[in-house]
A and B are shown apart, each in its own frame.
Chain A
Amino acid sequence: MPIEVNGKSLEVDEEGYLADLNQWEPEVATIMAREDGTELNENHWEVINFLREYYEEYQIAPAVRVLTKAIGKKLGKDKGNSKYLYELFPYGPAKQACKYAGLPKPTGCV
């Protein structure tokens, strides 16, 4: 079912990932999160923005282990660990955060 964002109807796949990542805008993340019962805070946004930059550079969504390590490198050890990321994104940091960021599901993500 498409999601409604700022008066536009955006296609998503059967798991809720945005069909066309070029249609992404911050409001997409806010709305997807709200459907999951989450209000995004600046810690969520830090990860979402990081993922968008990662995708821009490498053209893939990173596996969770790779994301964790890369976050640690960029934002410090207290954030580059699974516990912190799972608390922010309880459905799995790569899966849930990538979805909010408008990226495809990470390769190798089960």
Chain B
Amino acid sequence: MAEPWEDDEVDGPVRKFMYVNRRAPYGTIYALESLEVVLIAAAFEQDVSLVFMDDGVYQIKKEQNTDAIGVKNFSPTYRALEGYDVEKLYVEKESLESRGLTTDDLIVPVQVVENDQLAELMEEQEVILSF
């Protein structure tokens, strides 16, 4: 029988999962739920990428303060993604610019992509989940 510590490596197929985040971080549960499933997929060593577009770009905006709305500020958790080997974070250019934001406003390093690049990236995926 394998010892428990030999059981860490996840066997089985690795799939390309893309999580598309399109909504503001608070007000609905979508952003937090997306982050949770991203962490689960990453814990199972899947090939995970994230897209932030539309109001979803606000999810990774710096200096979020949720005191007044009485919910937890979970934005620090995006910085943990690197430790989970999730390093493919894409932000759709127009969404970022139309909100007056630049990559300097974001808490994690991202790759800014044009719409047609995004379409190509999506083409490469096996699973796409939209939140």
Contacts and interface: CB of A to CB of B under 8 A. Distances in A.
B77 A59 contact: yes
B8 interface: yes
B17 to A, nearest CB: 13
A83 B7 CA distance: 11
A58 B40 contact: no
A60 B39 contact: yes
A83 B5 contact: yes
Nearest to B4: A86
A108 B40 CA distance: 4
Q: In terms of DSSP, what is the predominant structure of the interface of chain B?
A: helix
Nearest to B80: A58
A92 interface: yes
Contacts of B3: 83, 86
Interface stretch (A1-9, A10-18, A29-37, A62-70): A62-70
Interface of A: 57-60, 62-66, 68-70, 81-83, 85-86, 90, 92, 106-109
Given A66-B83, A90-B4, 14 more contacts: A57-B76, A58-B77, A58-B80, A59-B76, A60-B39, A60-B77, A63-B42, A63-B84, A65-B45, A66-B80, A81-B5, A82-B4, A82-B5, A108-B39
Interface of B: 3-6, 8, 36, 39-40, 42-45, 72-74, 76-77, 79-80, 83-84
